[in-house]
Structure 1
């Protein structure tokens, strides 16, 4: 077990040349960070075994580079641009650039042979003057009037087909000639070999497993290299002392990747997931769907093949395995289907994921790997609640088949009601969705029976809707009045023509004499037997205590569009203190303010509930309180539970929000809860709640722990 302070880079940066520009001064910390990663690789046998001898030799040669060359590698790593001119590199390293280029060329990180690159990459490296030169070689007409994008596309199309060769039926490698011409134009340029950027990516990923920036990544990064570039920046901030994490002890016990192939497959699926997230964030759903369809067979095979599952790992570590990354990509595929309104395809994919246990055969050698809970637990953090919720919405709401959705979900719970990972929040959400389906079906049934009982005498009914507001009406029921919208349209409701229903070859008229308790709702028939199945809602919300509800009505005088805001504003009347000279001469005045719902609520509680201070913070205050009250249980247990701290840049243990968190700390957590219940009865100041909050605030204020926002309050006294 190593502490962060014990990792010291092998190369000292004190000998750095004084000729380095001030813009490169920050890179010294980045060089230290990459040296830390290399040192950790040499100390962790489980990491070094994932690289071949040639790759380990490359890392050894990397260590021997000068710090200036390492700085150049760090600056070039993670960039989308791969081809650089010498003038571009001189902007990064103003001095001694020739020595750096010689070192990186011998390391094979930078190369000059352009023929191995694709035509698309080469043509995108040309500037306008070079594109015009190449267009002149191919006799492209009016090329000066074309934009650079149009000129690139024209050159690529021209290079792919040779009209002269096709006429004489001669085989000519036109692309090779095209690449050769560009290589001559780009003579003296350097390109970054992706083979070795991938090695750096693998190194940074292994040394950053579970770290905050690698785990909670933004969805607008296009590649895993970009994420590792962010992680390298985080490592640099730690070295500079601008980012402080809790001083826990790393305790790795489990080996996540046994072979290099397993590690490479994980990185491939991780890259696919990152690419899908980026395409979704850019609303490029067609490209994202095509990428999913190209990999669908491989993803489903990765999820369904039990031999790939790492049930030897704790559940919180399975998120770093290839089956879980494939599962995550399939969840994104469901999202893409829904965004394109392909609900039937989304339903089929959800059913495939929910039926993983049903596909087992008697002769399956992995049949004995069943868990006591849901089979999705074998993949990683279970997403059963999410899948069931999406199934209910897609099948019951979008596809208008509520009975089918109801029966599927209830039957699923009859078979797999032992899923302990389905928490109270998810159970409540699924229960509410099922009740909505049930209410919708019963409402349709009641409407149908009402039409059978003779409420169809009038051919039409007219309903005049006006904005005449009753004197005792609630504001929330008269949104049209508040927004100044008047609706006096006469709406005509026509009676639907009832047709005879044919069931099993028999015709039944929709009248009062029908003896079969049958009605038609959304293309499904509800008889007495099916009605019993509808009422058999699974017990999903047992012992759930609902929080108290406080309803407050705020007046509004205009819509958000009318006042030029993107969200509604509400009216607040506030009394102002009169001047001392006019205190007895004029009545108290008031101000009228337009506030957002958060500002309005804070002022309401301060004015009516006798609060002195208010702040809108969603759940951040609870994160901060939990972090302070349970800090020692989170980070200071010695020895720490195995594998919960796998990286040196974690803001929380990896088993947080899992069953393992409580199970491994049960006695400590129960004792702390008992202390919180009895803390007001203690006369010892050192054992008081205020003392604990103040002490841990002063010791750990500013640390990156549990996503706590220390800037939310000025000092510990406000929290107390």
Structure 2
């Protein structure tokens, strides 16, 4: 129902191609859509002579030939610099003051092509442009380009098939070419996904036009993101403005709202909401704060799309109103509404609370003290802080990360020697000297790996419709929503109860069962390289204990999306006496984020030994004076 007869004829036409024809098409499909010189195509693994293979694709309607190439700019873009210089010389370009770079040569030839010849036979004719095009095509030789029609069909097929790719971040489905490589790895036995049962009940797209609209929205989102990533803010603004369609205007709201939230992210309304959210970032970058506030309010007026972004929107709204527009009453109202929003979680909730506190402590807002005092409060307990010193390596530029110098480990060859290390490696060495013989710098992946292993069978359980919709999913679709816990509440609570009452032997058995049965399978929660062996993972869970692990798993299962960040950098433990520490490392001038403060407090409440290790820097001169 999502593909018409013309679409299906392209698919069946591909199936009728020879194997070499199919191989060449797939290779060309994965390249950027542009004209290519046949003599520059080099796929010896397909055929040493690609001419007949390309002709088969032309005959099948999959490739265009140079007879369709009538755009001068496209031909010039195709030519390498030496041939462009030869062409420019033919038309007496390239003299003093004219450039010899490719883009300069192209500009010069295009400018010349727009000049009307004195000998033009009729109005609208341009002999110079026609002659340049003819000469350029002669230099280019035989050229081909994928036909847009069939290519669009295959892009849509792969988009539909790979909808679940890149759910965790702001990546977008760009046609599904990456999925081709995944399928290849699976078919060759180099990649394996977890075992689960696919159950598709919900209809994501109502018809072919609905799918095409979704594809267009996702491509528009990718264009905005690309412009932002490359720093072209004015272009990003133009793209965002061109796509300024508020989700509430969509005629498919009823259908989309009826979908569970973990499927709603595959709708046109969700894609446009992400465009508008990106537009806020663009407006703020360009200091258009009034417009940004207006957009934020329209985003917050609905809760159908991107509910996980509401904390960020409230936070930005309060900041813009307070700092940039100097509207404290409205800022306080935004803080109150944000704190009352049940969809605002963890770090953003604390950020709003801390903004209110700063306003309360500032003399500038003394008139608003009664109103600020009435706001809900959030109490976060502090943890132990320690400070160590390290010799900072005096480097310039680079990644911006601090690099420290540390004496080499004992037993190193030669006499006195030092190694360059990160602030976390310096801290691990400090804790080794304190008797913690084991340590991992894994940040959140250490905890998510334990979460994934101890809960594996629950995560990939059967009987929950629509959470698994294709064979190549590294996690269920509801993992990043509140539905994850709701759909598995009984099983999670039972497992947590088992953990809380478990002996060390039971903990080891749970780890061993998941590890031995699932090792190497692709799961977004589990980093198989985080622990050197099963035994090392078992030694850590022995130290952490079942009660702590049960509490941690409960918190992560209830709100994984907002709880996966902010966990401590280091886990260090002593295998001889089963002691451990969870350590957040802070380099010079580094501060705790809101999510880190919340996790440290929560871990301490669960009975963990938690501390913040501050590393202060001494320069080379300071170390020499000592």
Deviation per CA, 1:507-537: give whole Å up to 9, x if none.
xxxxxxxxxxxxxxxxxxx3xxx54323221
Alignment-derived partner of residue 110 in structure 1: 63
Question: In structure 2, which of residues 52, 57, 72 is the aligned counterpart of residue 119 of structure 1?
Answer: 72
* Conserved 8 A contact 2:36-2:143: yes
Please report the TM-score for the alignment, with normalisation by the length of structure 1: 0.67
The correspondence of residues 478-557 of structure 1 with structure 2, limited to 5 A, is: 526=367, 530-538=368-376, 541=378, 546=380, 549-557=383-391
Q: Partners of 1:326 and 1:577 in 2: how far apart?
A: 60
C-alpha separation in 2, matches of 1:591 and 1:129 = 53
2:34 to 82, 90, 94: 82
User: Aligned equivalents of 1:83 and 1:538: distance in 2?
Assistant: 61
Which consecutive residues of structure 1, in runs of 5 or more, have no partner in the other structure?
A: 1-48, 357-374, 447-525, 579-588
Residue 120 of structure 1 contacts residue 156 of structure 1 at CA under 8 Å; is this kept in 2?
yes
Query: Residue in 2 aligned with 1:480?
Result: none
Q: Using the TM superposition, give the Cα deviation of residue 288 of structure 1 relative to its aligned residue in structure 2, in angstroms.
A: 1.6
Matched, 1:623 2:448: yes
Aligned twin of 1:434: 356
Deviations 1:152-193 (CA, angstroms, capped at 9, x unpaired): 011122223426489x99332566665455445545322222
- Which one of the candidate residues 426, 431, 434 is aligned to 1:600? 426
- Give 1:226-241 correspondences, 5 Å limit: 228-241=176-189
Q: 2:216 aligns with which of 244, 257, 268?
A: 268
Structure 1 residue 238: Cα displacement:
1.3
Contact 1:576 1:591 survives alignment (8 Å): no
CA distance change for structure 1 residues 158 and 591 in 2, over 3 Å: closer, same or farther?
Answer: closer
TM-superposition CA deviations, 1:96-118 (whole Å, max 9, x none): 53432232112211121444654
Matches within 5 A, 1:66-465: 66-80=18-32, 82-92=34-44, 93-95=46-48, 97-115=50-68, 118-128=71-81, 130-132=83-85, 134-135=87-88, 138-140=91-93, 142=95, 146-162=100-116, 164=118, 170-172=123-125, 179=133, 182-211=136-165, 214-215=166-167, 224-225=174-175, 228-296=176-244, 299-300=245-246, 302-305=247-250, 307-308=252-253, 310-354=256-300, 356=301, 375-376=302-303, 378-410=304-336, 412=337, 417=340, 419-440=341-362, 443-444=363-364
Question: 1:324 Cα deviation (Å)?
Answer: 0.7
CA distance in 1, matches of 2:5, 2:409: 78
Are positions 1:702 and 2:537 aligned together? no
Which residue matches 2:436?
A: 611
Aligned to 1:371: none
- Counterpart CA distance in 2 for 1:71 and 1:122 is 26
Query: What is aligned with 1:680?
Result: 503
Query: Are the counterparts in 2 of residues 114 and 183 from structure 1 also a CA contact under 8 Å?
Result: no
Measured at CA, do residues 248 and 558 of structure 1 come closer, stay the same or move farther in structure 2, by a change above 3 Å? closer
Identify the range of structure 1 (180-189 vs 154-163) with the bigger mean alpha-carbon deviation. 180-189
Whether contact under 8 Å (1:109, 1:192) holds in the other structure is yes
1:230-265 Cα offsets, whole Å, 9 max, x none, are 221122111111121101111111111111111111
The answer as to whether partners of 1:245 and 1:703 remain within 8 angstroms in 2 is yes
TM-score, scaled relative to structure 2: 0.77
The answer as to whether partners of 1:406 and 1:437 remain within 8 angstroms in 2 is no
How much has 1:80 moved relative to structure 2? Answer: 2.2
When the two structures are aligned, how many residues end up with a matched partner? 533
Alpha-carbon shift at residue 663 of structure 1 (Å): 1.4
Does residue 61 of structure 1 match 2:7?
no
- Unpaired runs of 5+ residues, structure 2, are 539-626
User: CA distance change for structure 1 residues 379 and 116 in 2, over 3 Å: closer, same or farther?
Assistant: farther
Counterpart Cα distance in 2 of 1:607 and 1:332: 47
Contact 1:115 1:179 in 2 (8 A): no
**Preserved CA contact (<8 Å) 1:112 1:188:** yes
Q: Please state how far the C-alpha of 1:707 moved relative to its aligned partner.
A: 3.7
CA positional deviation for 1:295: 2.5
Deviation per residue, 1:307-337 (Å, 9 max, x gap): 4450121110111111111111111112222
SS at match of 2:192: coil
User: Quick one: distance in 2 between partners of 1:653 and 1:547?
Assistant: 34
Q: Name the CA distance, whole Å, in 2 between partners of 1:215 and 1:224.
A: 13
CA change 1:612–1:110 in 2 (3 A) is same
| Residues 196, 577 of structure 1: alpha-carbon distance in 2 compared, 3 angstrom cutoff | closer
Secondary structure at 1:224 match in 2: coil
Q: Work out whether residues 251 and 645 of structure 1, in 8 Å CA contact, stay in contact via their aligned partners in 2.
A: yes
Residues in 2 aligned to 1:575 and 1:68: alpha-carbon distance in whole angstroms: 56
Q: Distance in 1 between matches of 2:312 and 2:237?
A: 20
C-alpha separation between the residues in 2 aligned to 1:169 and 1:402?
Answer: 68
- Bigger radius of gyration, 1 or 2? 1
- 1:112 to 1:612, Cα distance in 2 relative to 1, 3 A: same
Task: Compute the displacement of 1:595 (Å).
Answer: 5.0
Contact 2:220 2:243 in 1 (8 A): no
SS of 2:145 mapped into structure 1: strand
**2: CA distance between counterparts of 1:71 and 1:593?**
49
The answer as to whether partners of 2:20 and 2:47 remain within 8 angstroms in 1 is no
Distance 1:224 1:564 in 2: 32
Distance 1:717 1:554 in 2: 31
Residue 611 of structure 1 and its aligned partner are, at CA, apart by 1.8
What's the Cα RMSD here? Answer: 3.4
